[in-house]
């Protein structure tokens, strides 16, 4: 999933979602799960 961080244009917002899931404790992670 390293390529997702290299993507500059992020129309789907997948990059922050992946990072949030890695952190797992952030509110963004929970929000990403809700949007999934």
- CA count, 13 A, side-chain hemisphere, 14: 12
pLDDT score at 35: 57
CA distances from 21 to 3, 25, 28, 35 (A): 16, 8, 8, 13
pLDDT score at 4: 54
Q: What share of the chain is helix, strand, coil (3-state, %, to 5)?
A: 65, 0, 35
pLDDT in tens, 14-36: 777 776 666 666 565 566 666 55
pLDDT score at 16: 73
Q: Which residue ranges make up each domain of the chain? A: 2-35
pTM of the model: 0.23
């Amino acid at each position: 999933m390293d390529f997702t961080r290299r993507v500059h244009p992020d129309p789907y917002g997948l990059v922050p979602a992946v990072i949030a899931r890695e952190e797992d404790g952030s509110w963004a992670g929970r929000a990403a799960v809700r949007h999934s």
